[in-house]
Chains A and B, each alone.
Chain A
Amino acid sequence: MSNMGKNKLPIVNRKNIIVLFLLLVVYGVVQILQSNGILDRFYTMTLILACIYIILAVSQNLITGFTGQLAIGHAGFMAIGAYMSAFIVVKMNGPVVGGLIFGALVAAFAGVLIGIPTLRLRGDYLAIATLGLGEIVRIIFLNWDYLGGATGFQVPKSMNWTWAFWLMVLSVVVINNFINSSHGRACISIRENEIAAEAMGINTTKYKVIAFALGAMFAGLAGGIYANYMFFIQPGTFSFLKSFEILVMVVLGGLGSITGSILGAVIMTVASALLADIPELRMVIIAVLLIIIMIFRPNGILGTKEFNLSFLNPKKKGEENGIT
């Protein structure tokens, strides 16, 4: 860190350049395969869903893995993002980007609104309260006939691989940068020991709400991408089972590990796609795998460790392991 003061643009270092290069390669390869028709629509959809689930998992991890708050209402925020972006696009004839931003902001606002009363609760109580709130959100959309109600809501398809991929990168970078800032450390201290954090001058309520709102915002963004990609949304998609699914990805990858969440989201999405022809058996296999992984590796695949490229930069005192 000491040499960073001398460096005019510390953001430009070898590690970040290599990460950017790798991202461009992944993006480019998929883009080329897609335009040549080698990747059919099903595989493209799987890749885009993987991007959406990465956003969901990483933002859930911010709340649960880093801040230590077991909230199971992510599907609710996703629903808000999906419906609100669709509302702007379909009902207001607004631009897609405007819809995505609006959806994410409304979800963040809902996060603050829900967070202030419920984040005082601990552990399982918070879990069940947020699960309930997520279900309330779903039931509101179920009864909201203006937005399609139970029959669902059609949204023109405007998202593609380019959008999904770079929005995913943006989300991961923002959350990663937050985690590696002093404000992110304040959130982590809540997970570690709430009373000690408070005694060290951290306003724990404030940071819980910030983490919750930031997490909700990206869940809303993911919902917006989903709605503008899938043609059709309906409330049933956003039930608490979806929240479970997201939580499972996070725990599978490792709580408190961003790269772990990415891995968890990709594994689950790809596994679902590979087993798509046998839907019931698919769920049974996923369930059994989940139980086995939890029994033999209860901290997830990566634990709190990050898979990182720090070996690319010679070790300096206090250097953080972020990717940007």
Chain B
Amino acid sequence: MALLKVENLSKSFSGLKAVSNLDLEIMEGELVGLIGPNGAGKTTVFNLLTGVYVPTEGTISFKGKRIDGSPLYKVSHLGIARTFQNIRLFGDLPVIDNVKIAYHQHVSYNTLSGILRLPNYYRGEAEIYQKAYDLLKIFDLHEKEDELAKNLPYGQQRRLEIARALATKPSLLLLDEPAAGMNPQETQNLMELIRWIREEFALTILLIEHDMSLVMGVCERIYVLDYGMVIAHGNPDEIKSNPRVIEAYLGEEAG
């Protein structure tokens, strides 16, 4: 059974179709890419999948359950986590707190224990801290745990967003342009990191990316979006040689 199944998904904004009749299927453990020129509707798809937008038409099923129309936090509880194209960290908070907050849905004590500082508060906090710290270590951010997130360099902010998303313990991770603004070396490292976390956390990953080398290098399957529609889909080699894809991208360059 597919982990994520999207059927006939459409979204219009005041009459303008941003996504139309999208069909998408992702199997458990896959690493899938979603590419397309600027304004093709890629981020809109993410926003639909995570519940930021309610679809105009169509259905989204995750683990066999309908999730279209569910609020964001419920989608997160079901196991979909994401990063944002325009980084949305908790900028005025320390790096470690960014991760701790994402761990909140798994917290082991309740509000009252927190206020009364019962023993399980201390146990819970110690556990949250340890888990958050371990995650930061994976992303090589542990030495910056007390720094404010907004003061991190760009590349580290992107990595922190991934670490934060992982703290929600997702089974599907959506990465929105994780390599944006990174240099080739950083991108290379990121590719390895993405492969590694997929194994380590038994994840399924869907990623949006502009950097073709990254997409072609890590993704097993690719969907190409243009004007809100899937114009091609297949493995990297098929996509590379697809005339419609070439046209869509050349068209963008020319325009």
Contacts and interface: CB of A to CB of B under 8 A. Distances in A.
Interface of A: 1-2, 4-5, 10-11, 174, 177-178, 180-186, 188-189, 192-193, 195-204, 210, 304, 317-318, 320, 324
Main secondary structure of the interface of A (DSSP, over half): helix
B112 to A, nearest CB: 10
Contacts of A186: 101, 104
B125 interface: yes
Contact of B126 (A2, A181, A324): A2
Given A2-B130, A183-B114, 14 more contacts: A1-B129, A5-B126, A177-B114, A181-B109, A181-B114, A182-B114, A183-B107, A193-B90, A196-B90, A199-B72, A199-B88, A201-B105, A201-B168, A203-B73
A318 B129 contact: yes
Interface in B197-229: none
B100 interface: yes
Interface of B: 50, 52, 71-73, 76-77, 81-82, 84, 88-93, 96-97, 100-105, 107, 109-111, 114-117, 121-126, 128-130, 133, 145, 164-165, 167-168
A199 B76 contact: yes
Contacts of B109: 181-182
A143 B175 CA distance: 57
Given A5-B126, A199-B81, A189 B115 contact: no
21 contacts: A2-B129, A177-B115, A181-B114, A181-B115, A181-B125, A186-B104, A188-B90, A188-B101, A189-B90, A192-B91, A193-B88, A193-B89, A196-B89, A196-B90, A198-B71, A199-B50, A200-B102, A201-B73, A201-B105, A201-B168, A204-B73
A1 B164 contact: no
Contacts of A320: 125
A320 B91 CA distance: 19
A174 B164 contact: no
Contacts of B77: 201
Contacts of B168: 200-201
Chain A CB within 10 Å — which of B77, B84, B111 has the most?
B111
Contact of B100 (A182, A195, A210): A182
Contacts of A204: 73
Nearest to A173: B115
Contacts of B115: 174, 177-178, 181
Q: A-B pairs with the 3 shortest C-beta distances?
A: A181-B114, A201-B76, A192-B90
